């Protein structure tokens, strides 16, 4: 058991956050994380119907059976009309969700209300500068992600090793490091650089509790660290996604008509990605996948993945004893 400020904050056994995966971070996934001794976050953006969101939060609480869970609220730039962030936070507070993960833009306008409701807030940032800003407005912890992460790594494209060292030195509140992390050795490395835990998303995509089609998971098992591509730089909303036919077309559009959202939307729409998860046709959709996909070696329960990470971390710590001063 590794005790850090993150295990203390969330009341978990292992300092690992299971990332909020668009369309895939369901109550079943979050509950599996909770029972494995880590914490997971449902993705509010995956449930645009607010009544359904409330129902799913309640289902998640029941499945977690008293263990900690949270809700991820992404405030990334909207590619479609509509803004219901305040209402989402209202529902989270009304349902007594203990933890919220924010991302995408400054959450300052919501922090006081969330704290008044007894909710702890962890904010995800793509660099130390934004993490320091989040610290200054009163968040309880931050996740800093490196360029290797799946989804949105920001615009600066700073690697995880550099991010971890900078964050460990520069922040006073608990720090989680994400981006390309998928094993226990990396957890120990992050802790050695001053982090309090790690965020893992891509590695969990092959967990049994993820509802995506088996054919999609089988392709991820075959994928390498080189099988992801960065796109949407022309929208200033960089995305690391699985290399496939859709991403090749997106690259072509961005090369010929940079920033042409109308031309891009038929390819990057979340509905296309969701259909890929449903059918297993991994060649379609902008599917968020990080470079840690190389560590996905088989379809198994999420608890087994966490157990392997713990075993790897323990072995890494034992190896480090060989370098202790005599």
Q: What is the mean pLDDT of the chain?
A: 95
14 — pLDDT class (breaks 50, 70, 90): very high
pLDDT of residue 35: 98
Whether 219 is in a domain gets the answer no
- Cβ burial 116-148 (10 Å sphere, 16+ → b, else e): ebebbbbbbbbbbebbbebbeeebbbbbbbbbb
| 122 and 250 share one domain | no
| 76 and 151 share one domain | yes
Distance between CA 220 and CA 285 in Å, rounded?
A: 14
**Average pLDDT, stretch 145-160?**
95
Q: Domain residues for 244?
A: 228-279
| 60 and 163 share one domain | yes
CATH of the domain at 19: 3.20.20.70
Whether 142 is in a domain gets the answer yes
Q: Tell me the Ramachandran region of residue 186: left when phi exceeds 0, alpha when psi lies from -120 to 50, beta otherwise.
A: alpha
Whether 166 is in a domain gets the answer yes
| 93 and 242 share one domain | no
| 173 and 88 share one domain | yes
Whether 13 is in a domain gets the answer yes
Whether 240 is in a domain gets the answer yes
The string of pLDDT tens digits covering residues 44-95 is 999 999 999 999 999 999 999 999 999 999 986 554 445 689 999 999 999 9
| 109 and 15 share one domain | yes
| 44 and 96 share one domain | yes
| 271 and 163 share one domain | no
The string of pLDDT tens digits covering residues 209-248 is 999 999 999 999 999 999 999 999 999 999 999 999 999 9
Whether 217 is in a domain gets the answer no
Helices marked H in the chain — which ranges? Answer: 5-10, 27-35, 50-64, 85-94, 108-116, 128-136, 160-170, 184-192, 214-222, 245-256, 261-268, 270-279, 302-320
pLDDT of residue 143: 98
| 196 and 265 share one domain | no
| 202 and 255 share one domain | no
- Number of domains observed in the structure of the chain: 2
| 183 and 157 share one domain | yes
């Amino acid at each position: 058991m590794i005790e850090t400020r993150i295990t203390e904050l969330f009341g978990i056994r292992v300092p690992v956050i299971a990332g909020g995966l668009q369309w895939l971070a369901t109550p079943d996934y979050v509950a599996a994380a909770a029972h494995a001794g880590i914490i997971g976050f449902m993705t509010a953006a995956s449930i645009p119907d607010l009544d359904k969101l409330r129902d799913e939060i309640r289902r998640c609480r029941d499945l977690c059976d008293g263990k900690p869970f949270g809700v991820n609220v992404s405030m990334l730039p909207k590619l479609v009309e509509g803004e219901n962030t305040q209402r989402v936070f209202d529902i989270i507070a009304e349902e007594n969700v203990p933890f919220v993960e924010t991302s995408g833009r400054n959450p300052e306008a919501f922090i006081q209300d969330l704290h008044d409701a007894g909710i702890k807030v962890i904010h995800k940032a793509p660099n130390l500068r934004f993490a320091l800003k989040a610290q200054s407005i009163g968040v309880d912890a931050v996740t800093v992600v490196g360029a290797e992460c799946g989804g949105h790594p920001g615009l600066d494209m700073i690697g995880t090793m550099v991010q971890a060292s900078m964050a460990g030195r520069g922040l006073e509140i608990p720090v989680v490091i994400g981006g390309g992390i998928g094993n226990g050795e990396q957890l120990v490395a992050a802790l050695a650089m001053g982090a309090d835990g790690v965020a893992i998303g891509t590695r969990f995509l092959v967990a049994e509790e993820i509802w995506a089609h088996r054919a999609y998971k089988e392709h991820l098992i075959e994928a390498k660290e080189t099988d992801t591509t960065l796109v949407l730089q022309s929208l200033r909303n960089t995305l690391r996604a699985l290399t496939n036919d859709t991403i090749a077309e997106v690259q072509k559009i961005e090369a010929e008509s940079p920033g042409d959202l109308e031309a891009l939307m038929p390819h990057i729409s979340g509905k296309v990605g969701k259909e890929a998860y449903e059918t297993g046709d991994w060649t379609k959709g902008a599917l968020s996948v990080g470079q840690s996909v190389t560590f996905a070696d088989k379809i198994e329960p999420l608890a087994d993945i966490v157990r392997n990470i713990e075993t790897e971390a323990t072995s890494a710590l034992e190896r480090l004893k060989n370098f202790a001063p005599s």
